[in-house]
Amino acid sequence: MKLLLAFLVFFLTACITLEPTYVYQEMEKIPDTRDKNVCGLLKDSVILYAAFVDVEKHHPYTAFDLASTQDSIKKAIDWIEDQAANYGVSLKIKLVNHDQFKRKSIKEKNAKVSFEHYDKAFYKSGVSKYKDYMNWSDGIAKYMGRANRAAVNKNLASYVRINDLQSFNAVLRDKYEYENIAHMYFMNAYYEDVKGNAWNTATDHSVEFAIIEGKSAAVIAHEFLHLFGAVDLYPTQEYSFFKFDEIEKKYQNSIMLESYKDVNKLEVDSINAYFLGWTNQLSEEDNELLFHKLKAPVY
């Protein structure tokens, strides 16, 4: 009996004190953002549809701020087209500035929505704020639709009524005869921290859009590239498993790593060139940077 008790004590002690043996399992997973949704691949001809919104959280647009923001958009467009050319890709981005019955900016209160400046993606309760952004975007798009009503075509059975961003996008595609339209909302935060967010970039269920608070050409280019599949090269909630230390060393000038610099000092890295459709495949080295390893204890 004493021998049995001694054995049990030894066995339990060993189980507690011995360190488990770890094996590394490589996850063959990379972002699924290439050629997704409305924007698709960034090549040939696309439209950047810019809407300038006066929101309560920031400031109404002045003629100067509107003009300087448009200058930044053009600077971002020129930079993106040059980057595409560096990869041997033909790209022409057409800028269309929304016109609401000859007014160059619109008031969000006329659309009966209110933008909230969120620093995080979730409320303290854990509820996602995604629907708030979607509702705001749909409300603005519905209001803008008053100035872009669908043309009546007697050869078609249905008439498109603009109720949200999806229907607004459908009307614009018909009006301009462009397959790919990137929707970007701009707000006049001319002295606050410049921020940007892109939504619906990895889904085929809702139209992509971006919100830009400020007028930085680099931030504009960064968010525009998101709409066509580019991914951040710093830790995010969506992608927390990249080998970020190695990425930062290799792509320290990537616009998807750092967008708070002069845009002319930045570049599109080869990882995101693939997601944008500028190259046909990831290199083996880049592929490895997007994988991660899990420690699974084996007893």
Ranges of beta strands (E only) in the chain are 21-27, 44-54, 91-97, 106-107, 181-187, 195-199, 209-213, 292-298
Per-residue pLDDT reduced to its tens digit, 209-250: 999 999 999 999 999 999 999 999 998 877 888 999 999 999
Q: What is the CA radius of gyration of the chain?
A: 24
Residues of the chain below pLDDT 50 = 16-19, 22, 24, 26-27, 294-299
- The whole-number pLDDT of residue 4 equals 52
What is the torsional sign of CA 57, 66, 172, 209? negative
Quick one: how far is CA 232 from the chain centroid?
A: 9
Q: What is the pLDDT of residue 8?
A: 54
pLDDT digits (tens, 9 = 90+) for 161-170: 999 999 999 9
Range 71-76 contact pairs with CB under 8 angstroms and sequence separation of 24 or more: 72/215, 72/216, 72/217, 72/220, 73/48, 73/186, 73/217, 73/220, 75/217, 75/263, 76/217, 76/218, 76/220, 76/221, 76/224, 76/263
Distance of CA 18 to the CA centre of its chain: 46
pLDDT number for residue 116:
73
Q: How far apart are CA 59 and CA 52, in angstroms?
A: 11
Q: Taking Cα atoms as reference points, which of 255, 252, 269 lies closest to residue 218?
A: 255
